[in-house]
Structure 1
């Protein structure tokens, strides 16, 4: 019984330590954010390399301060398009829903 209890406690401690080790550094967060943005913009080849290089070089601020998440970028683009079309009310809601669904695929 004591052995089982000790093993359970040890397993819990090892699991908690592994979770603490997986916390991302600011550079890893920046890399993840830049990679998501490049993917959402469907960049490939040299264009992707250039984008990633420029995105990662902008290390003066935290990733959240300097760039939008892919979802925020989608919202911004759809919102701008809805504004150009001067949509409002239900028509705007429908347009935004369709726009975000198209871009999510």
Structure 2
């Protein structure tokens, strides 16, 4: 009856005195996941910083190959921009405006 009236205390850790266990692991894993997602987002943003027209010029594309590349790049940009608009929960004119500007920025100026 030495513990009469005391609540059960989680098992103690020899180093800190407390057993953080599963809760600490979840917090660490969620923070690592957030860091990983941020790193991937920054990498993709950096990769997308080069416009489609600049990428076509860098690859020295011309004629049908350039047109095909630009068409695919614009299609991919549209999909990414629409996904970003959905993530931001845009609708109507705001979504249309966002997607139009986003695609224009991704494709770059016409040659």
Fold agreement, TM-score > 0.5: no
- Structure with more of its chain in helix, by fraction: 1
- TM-score, normalised on structure 1? 0.35
Relative CO higher for 1 or 2, CA cutoff 8 Å, sep ≥ 6? 2
Report which of the two structures shows the higher radius of gyration computed on alpha carbons: 2
